[in-house]
Amino acid sequence: GAGVSQSPSNKVTEKGKDVELRCDPISGHTALYWYRQSLGQGLEFLIYFQGNSAPDKSGLPSDRFSAERTGGSVSTLTIQRTQQEDSAVYLCASSLRAGVHEAFFGQGTRLTVV
Amino acid sequence: TQLLEQSPQFLSIQEGENLTVYCNSSSVFSSLQWYRQEPGEGPVLLVTVVTGGEVKKLKRLTFQFGDARKDSSLHITAAQPGDTGLYLCAGPPNSGYALNFGKGTSLLVTP
């Protein structure tokens, strides 16, 4: 696609449920990032994928969070047993390759845990 | 983690006014980027500055990278309502690949 696409745009879920967030990066971009943006906070790094290399998971806040990237393209961020503090906007970005820092962001998924 | 401090946190001005927002760090960055984020959207890259002392202009926006590559500023001339948004600065880490972001300056320009 022309840009980074994320789905769903909005997700309301009950506390304790699992959610999956999807990101479709720009075609040809080998680097993919997930960030979380909470109200009044900056972008918090979650996880980074580069090609077929092992992902950098150093930003994941707990073992309830996981992500995968299939075929070097689409990525899914999964949050298990959601908590209210997980409510935030989850942003996905892609860049041409590792070391090319200009990132192109999707519109984000607004997650609300009730 | 290399922290990026942005100021002011909030700014509300009238159309036609000039403004400057700042991005400061105690760390040296190889480059810094500025993004603008509008409500309900993801951040959009405005500019990347690479060389200490560099000045880049994008229409009414002027970006400057400090000589020591620890800070940057964004100056907007004759602000317009379309400039409203959250302005974020970001820099690459010393190790790894994920950009470090400041918390942003939220700008409101009223007609």
What would the pLDDT profile of A14-66 be if each residue is shown by its tens digit? 999 999 999 999 999 999 999 999 987 789 999 999 988 889 999 999 999 99
CB of A59 within 8 Å of any CB in chain B? yes
Interface contact A42-B92, CB threshold 8 A: no
B3 neighbourhood in chain A, CB within 8 Å: none
C-alpha span between A34 and A106 (Å, rounded): 10
The pLDDT value given to residue B95: 75
Contact flag A41-B88 (C-beta cutoff 8 Å): no
**Which of A45, A46, A58 is best to mutate for the B interface (most B CBs within 10 A)?**
A45
Asked whether A62 and A74 are in contact (CB, 8 A), the reply is no
Neighbour count for residue A94 (Cβ, 10 Å): 25
The reply to whether residue A98 touches residue B97, judged by beta carbons under 8 angstroms, is yes
Contacts of B24 in chain A (CB under 8 A): none
Q: How large is the average pLDDT for residues A91-110?
A: 89
The band of A1, judged by pLDDT with boundaries at 50, 70 and 90, is low
- Does residue A80 or residue B94 have the better pLDDT? A80
pLDDT value at residue A70: 84
Do A31 and B45 lie within an 8 Å CB cutoff? no
Phi, psi of A23 (to 5 degrees): -135, 130
Give the mean model confidence (pLDDT) for residues A102-114.
Answer: 95
The reply to whether B31 touches chain A by the CB within 8 Å rule is yes
Q: SS in 3 state form for A100-111?
A: CCCCEECCCEEE
What are the E-state strand segments in A39-87? 43-50, 65-69, 75-79
User: How close does chain A come to B16, measured CA to CA in Å?
Assistant: 27
- Nearest CB to B42; choose among A40, A56, A106: A106
CA distance A76 to B39: 24
Average pLDDT over chain B, rounded to whole?
A: 94
Give the minimum alpha-carbon distance from B17 to chain A in angstroms, rounded to a whole number.
25
